[in-house]
Chains A and B, each alone.
Chain A
Amino acid sequence: MRFSLHDGPGLRTTVFLKGCPLRCPWCHNPESQSYQSEAMYASDRCISCLACCSVCESGALHWDHGPERDPARCTLCGACSEACPAEARKLVGKQIPVRELIKEIRRDIAFFDESGGGVTFSGGEPLAQPQFLEAALAVCKSEGIHTVVDTCGYAPSAVIRRIMPYVDEFLFDLKLADDARHRQVVGVSNALILENLGIIAREHAAVAVRIPVIPGINDDEDNLEQSFRLLGELGLSNVDLLPYHASAMEKYRRLSLAYRLTDVKSPAAARMQEIAARFACRGFQIRIGG
Chain B
Amino acid sequence: MNERVARLRSESLGVKPWLSIERAALITDFYEQSTETCVPVRRALAFQHVMEHKSVIIGEGELIVGERGPSPKGTPSFPELCCHTMEDLDILDTREKTSYSVSDETRQIHKDRIIPYWRGRSMRDLLFREMTQEWKAAYETGIYTEFMEQRAPGHTVLGDVLYSKGLLGLKSDVERSLATLDFRNDPRAYEKQQELKAMAIAADAVIRYAERHAELADELAAREKDMVRREELHTISDVCRHVPGNPPRNFWESLQAYWFVHLGVVTELNTWDSFNPGRMDQNLFPFYVRDLKCGALTRERARELLQCFWVKFNNQPAPPKVGVTAAESGTYTDFANINTGGLKPDGSDGVNELTYLILEVIDEMRLLQPSSNLQLSMKNPNRFLKRGLEIVRKGWGQPSIFNADMVVEELLRQGKSLEDARRGGISGCVESSAFGREACILTGYFNLPKVLEITLNNGVDPRTGKKIGAETGDPREFKTYDEMFAAFRRQLHHFVEIKIRGNNVIERLYADYMPAPFLSLLIEDCIANGKDYNDGGPRYNTTYIMGVAPGTCTDSLAAIKYHVFDHQSVTMDDLLQALQDDFQGWEALRLRLWNKTPKYGNDNDYADDILQSVFTAYYDEINGRPNTKGGFYRVNYLSTTCHVYFGSVTGATPDGRNAWEPHSDGISPVQGADRYGPTAVLQSAAKMDHARTGGTLLNQKFTPAVVEGQEGIDHLTHLVRTYFKLGGHHIQFNVVNAATLREAQKHPEQHRDLIVRVAGYSDYFCDLTKALQDEIIARTEQTAIAPALVEA
Contacts and interface: CB of A to CB of B under 8 A. Distances in A.
Interface of A: 1-6, 10-11, 15-16, 29, 31-32, 40, 47, 49, 51, 85-87, 90, 92-94, 96, 101, 104, 107-108, 110-111, 113-115, 117, 247, 251
Contacts of B718: 10-11, 111, 114-115, 117
B722 A49 contact: no
A4 B590 CA distance: 31
A104 B683 contact: no
A115 B715 contact: yes
Contacts of B754: none
B181 to A, nearest CB: 56
Contacts of A90: 789, 791
Given A110-B722, A110-B726, A11 B592 contact: no
B789 A40 contact: yes
Nearest to B726: A110
Interface residues of B, number: 34
Contacts of A92: 789-791
A239 B782 CA distance: 27
A49 B676 contact: no
A149 B589 CA distance: 42
11 contacts: A2-B676, A11-B715, A31-B790, A32-B790, A40-B789, A51-B588, A85-B594, A87-B595, A90-B791, A107-B680, A108-B679
Contacts of A6: 784
Interface string B676-711: 111110010000000000000000000000100001
Contacts of A104: 792
Q: Which of B591, B594, B595, B719 has the most CB of A within 10 A?
A: B591
Contacts of A16: 790, 792
B786 interface: yes
A210 B789 CA distance: 23
Contacts of B676: 2-3
A122 to B, nearest CB: 9
B596 A3 contact: no
Interface in B723-737: 725-726
Contact of B792 (A15, A40, A251): A15
A116 B389 CA distance: 19
Given A29-B790, A51-B588, A114 B595 contact: no
B641 to A, nearest CB: 29
Nearest to A113: B722
Nearest to B678: A3
Contacts of B587: 47, 49
Contacts of A96: 792
A49 B589 CA distance: 10
A94 B726 contact: no
Interface of A (DSSP majority class): loop
Contacts of B592: 85
Contacts of B594: 85
B785 interface: yes
A86 B595 contact: yes
Among A3, A6, A51, A247, find the residue whose CB has the most chain B CB atoms closer than 10 A.
A3
Contacts of A113: 722
Contact of B591 (A5, A32, A47): A47
B588 A111 contact: no
Contact of B679 (A2, A15, A51, A85): A2
B677 A1 contact: yes
| Closest A-B pairs by Cβ, 5 of them | A3-B677, A115-B718, A85-B591, A85-B592, A49-B588
A111 B722 contact: yes
Contacts of B722: 11, 110-111, 113-115
B461 interface: no
B721 interface: yes
Contact of B725 (A31, A108, A114): A114
Nearest to A247: B785
B603 interface: yes
Contacts of B349: none
Nearest to B714: A115
Nearest to A116: B718
A126 B160 CA distance: 61
Interface in B545-589: 587-589
Contacts of A5: 706, 711, 715, 784
B723 to A, nearest CB: 9
A85 B588 contact: yes
Contact of B603 (A47, A49, A93, A107): A107
Contacts of B678: 3
Interface string B775-790: 0000000101110011
Given A3-B679, A115-B718, A94 B791 contact: yes
A11 B719 contact: yes
A107 B680 CA distance: 8
A11 B592 CA distance: 32
A86 B588 CA distance: 7
A1 B790 contact: yes
Interface in B581-627: 587-592, 594-596, 603
A139 B706 CA distance: 30
Contacts of B719: 11, 111
Contacts of A94: 791-792
Given A87-B595, A96-B792, 17 more contacts: A1-B792, A2-B680, A3-B678, A3-B784, A5-B706, A15-B792, A47-B587, A85-B588, A87-B591, A90-B789, A92-B791, A94-B791, A108-B683, A110-B725, A114-B722, A114-B725, A115-B718
Nearest to B782: A3
A96 B791 CA distance: 11
A104 B677 CA distance: 14
B789 A251 contact: yes
B405 to A, nearest CB: 15
Contacts of B590: 85
B724 to A, nearest CB: 10
